Homo-oligomer: A and B are copies of this chain.
């Protein structure tokens, strides 16, 4: 019964969109061995008061990346933030504002991804909105389809850890092989690989250089401190490689 409570939609007409950018920003608290994701509390409808990924809608003349950087600059101070595009979510009715009784416009989300160093990232509390580094295991039900976007980002993170030297972006300048293993374990879960295999594999790849320094922690033998040798890694950059 057309016309009764439903609005007739021309199926062949082009859809009109607003475009959002949503950021999946990860960090690792290497002291506590926790993987964290940056969440903000929504100050507007819909989903007022619910946690969400930090995002915004793209403005006139603004590129997608510029929009993503604009909103992040309001939430977090961090050096050299490198955002990587993750995925675009654009199915109909992913946003309640799309309903014909609301704005009748589609909302598409282009998501971005970054991994930042915990010690160097400073959250900006603006006195109004809530903001938090949430441990990944304790993330609540998020606004919109943000749990799905987060899950996609988490998969990308694990993938990057396996295929790229992204771990060295978040470790301190010098680290022990045990620190490195711990970081992998924090993100990939226990038993992703045996420690001695992991250690042998990473050393064999040839871009960890021994600083000659050692560090004592607790009871064990002093452990060697390594650093990531970007120069030794350079020729491997475009080669297929697995890290674990």
Contact count band on A: 35 or more
Distance in Å: Cβ of A44 to nearest Cβ of chain B: 13
- Residue A61 lies at the interface, judged by CB distance under 8 Å to chain B: yes
Pair B92/A15 contact, Cβ less than 8 Å: no
A90 partner, pick from B19, B106, B240, beta carbons under 8 A? B19
The A interface, classified by DSSP as helix, strand, loop or mixed, is loop
A9 within 8 A of B: yes
Q: A13 to B60, alpha carbons, bound, how many Å?
A: 6
Chain B residue numbers with a CB within 8 Å of A82 are none
The interface bits of chain A over 158-201 (1 if a CB of B lies within 8 angstroms of the residue's CB, else 0) are: 00001100000000000000000000000000000000000000
- A/B interface sample: 16 pairs, CB < 8 A: A10-B60, A12-B59, A14-B57, A15-B19, A15-B59, A15-B61, A15-B62, A16-B17, A17-B18, A19-B90, A58-B90, A64-B108, A85-B88, A108-B108, A162-B240, A241-B242
